[in-house]
């Protein structure tokens, strides 16, 4: 029987590398100690070799590695499988833009998926695109291909049901919803759509999830400005810049990851209308049930991997056109002209099944997170707690009437350089990347997302000692006891 992570969390050193959840297609693996997370970032063989799963855009699933070895790799070349020929061509163009002339497509016989192979010395660059763009073959698709079966992406009842559920949550029509094999694939599509609408520089408003910023920096010919705090002063500076050189689009998260700041979306919408730029909002941390951002956005993107799925065993994303937006018809047509169904049927089925209890899960998670935040804010070991300010006008502008604060929070301890590693190691919750699962997860977020740029992150207000906590559905009294023991109280 699979281990129930609600009752038996994977947090001890002996759990290193075990999948979370306890199944083949888990999208996270346990990194139980502070040193394990450092070792993961530094590619320590003892850590990497222990991974039985991993977040699929960052570290290759064993089934992906097997598929590459059998169908793409050779003595001098190494490669990765992408979800379609067009997706593979985009990856090929990326590495060629950075000078890898020997890169080549590696078609997979009788499959819509297609590989890209590069000289082994350039594999890191190809994997960079795999991470940023997210148009990747999933572990389930790899499993089917290895079995000699076709991985279909067709019109199924489950796909229609997922689209309808996303549309209902966003108050949009089914035809406004596009599904993708990851949240980053949805963001990459939004970026391409923006550039076809009007090419030019984009802007990132507020400190975002790492790959959203990297995508705007590293795609061929990409240019961006960046307001890492997302404050009222930043809004004033954005307005000043728009007077001479407005961006073609502003990307922002509501709330932001990992500081859980809610930007002034009303003001951003006003500036978008005044200066003619598109507003792209990532509402992943709104957890589907809590916030209503689409009226302010031209496009809304969501990682369905997180709260929508809730069980940590499938990647997916959505891109939704605001049907009331001034550019809705053009944007819908631009997306449709480029769009392919890349989210495989086998993954849609899991996503649909997982999402059935979304509202019940989120009610429990919202309640648990609110109580845990209250406990942490009063604890003597805590210096800072980051969680959406539900009393602010900025929150009320986007809050659904029955919504909560969401399931994600971040903390910084007092004397963090002395206390954080020990507290993290003692914390009896699952530890590893990902969020939005029904079981509580904790990770040293800045270490995992910004290990090579820790000083940059701290300049943006994100401590290298920050712990990010995704609250699950365990009994909240038990969760609080686990934190009390970790703090030594």
pLDDT of residue 210: 86
Alpha-carbon span 145 to 83, nearest angstrom: 12
Helices (H), 355-451: 358-377, 393-398, 416-426, 445-450
CA angle 72, 75, 76 (to 5 degrees): 90
Which residues sit opposite 81 in a β-bridge? Answer: 115
354 φ, ψ to 5°? -65, -35
Domains and CATH numbers, the chain: 62-137 (3.30.70.2750), 157-356 (3.40.640.10), 357-487 (3.90.1150.10)
pLDDT tens digit string along 115-168?
A: 999 999 999 999 999 999 999 999 999 999 999 999 999 999 999 999 999 999
Looking at residue 108, the DSSP 8-state letter turns out to be: P
72 φ, ψ to 5°? -125, -45
pLDDT of residue 59: 86
pLDDT of residue 489: 63
- 208 by Cβ neighbours in 10 Å (0-12 / 13-18 / 19+) ranks as buried
Q: Which residues of the chain have pLDDT under 70?
A: 489
pLDDT tens digit string along 181-211?
A: 999 999 999 999 999 999 999 999 999 888 9
Alpha-carbon span 118 to 121, nearest angstrom: 8
pLDDT of residue 348: 98
Alpha-carbon span 96 to 125, nearest angstrom: 10
């Amino acid at each position: 029987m699979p281990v129930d992570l609600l009752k038996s969390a994977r947090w001890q050193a002996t759990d290193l590398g075990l999948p979370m959840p306890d199944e083949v297609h888990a999208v996270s693996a346990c990194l139980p100690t502070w040193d394990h997370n450092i070792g993961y970032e530094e590619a320590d063989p003892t850590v990497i070799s222990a991974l039985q799963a991993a977040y699929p855009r960052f570290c290759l699933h064993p089934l992906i590695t097997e598929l590459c070895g059998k169908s793409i790799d050779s003595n001098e070349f190494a490669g990765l499988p992408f979800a379609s020929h067009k997706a593979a061509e985009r990856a090929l163009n990326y590495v060629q833009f950075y000078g890898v002339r020997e890169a080549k497509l590696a078609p997979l016989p009788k499959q819509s998926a297609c590989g890209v192979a590069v000289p082994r010395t350039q594999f890191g660059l190809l994997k960079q695109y795999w991470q940023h763009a997210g148009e990747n073959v999933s572990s389930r698709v790899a499993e089917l291909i290895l079995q000699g079966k076709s991985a279909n992406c067709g019109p199924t009842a489950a796909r229609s049901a997922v689209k309808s559920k996303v549309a209902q949550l966003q108050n949009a029509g089914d035809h406004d919803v596009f599904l993708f094999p990851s949240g980053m694939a949805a963001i990459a599509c939004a970026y391409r759509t923006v550039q076809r609408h009007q090419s030019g520089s984009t802007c990132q408003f507020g400190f975002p999830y790492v790959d959203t910023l990297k995508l705007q920096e590293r795609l061929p010919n990409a240019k961006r400005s960046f307001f890492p705090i997302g404050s009222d002063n930043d809004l004033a500076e954005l307005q000043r810049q728009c007077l001479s050189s407005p961006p073609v689009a502003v990307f922002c998260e509501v709330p932001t990851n990992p500081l859980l700041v809610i930007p002034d979306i009303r003001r951003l919408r006003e500036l978008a209308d005044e200066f003619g730029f598109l507003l792209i909002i990532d509402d992943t941390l709104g957890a589907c049930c809590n916030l209503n951002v689409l009226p302010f956005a031209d496009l809304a993107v969501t990682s369905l991997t997180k709260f929508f799925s809730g069980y940590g065993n499938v990647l997916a994303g959505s891109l939704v056109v605001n049907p009331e937006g001034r550019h809705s018809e053009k944007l819908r047509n631009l997306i449709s002209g480029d769009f392919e169904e890349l989210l495989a049927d086998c993954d849609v089925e899991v996503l649909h099944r997982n999402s059935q209890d979304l509202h019940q899960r989120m009610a429990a998670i919202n309640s648990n997170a609110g109580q845990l935040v209250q406990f942490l804010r009063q604890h003597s070991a805590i210096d800072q707690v980051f969680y959406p300010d539900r009393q602010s006008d900025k929150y009320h502008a986007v809050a659904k009437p029955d919504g909560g604060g969401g399931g994600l929070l971040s903390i910084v301890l007092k004397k963090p350089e002395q206390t954080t590693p020990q507290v993290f190691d003692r914390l009896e919750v699952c530890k590893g990347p990902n969020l939005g699962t029904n079981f509580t997860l904790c990770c040293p977020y800045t270490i995992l997302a910004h290990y090579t740029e820790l000083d940059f992150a701290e300049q943006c207000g994100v401590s290298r000692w920050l712990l990010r906590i995704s609250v699950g559905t365990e009994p909240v009294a038990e969760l609080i006891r686990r934190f009390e023991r970790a703090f030594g109280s």
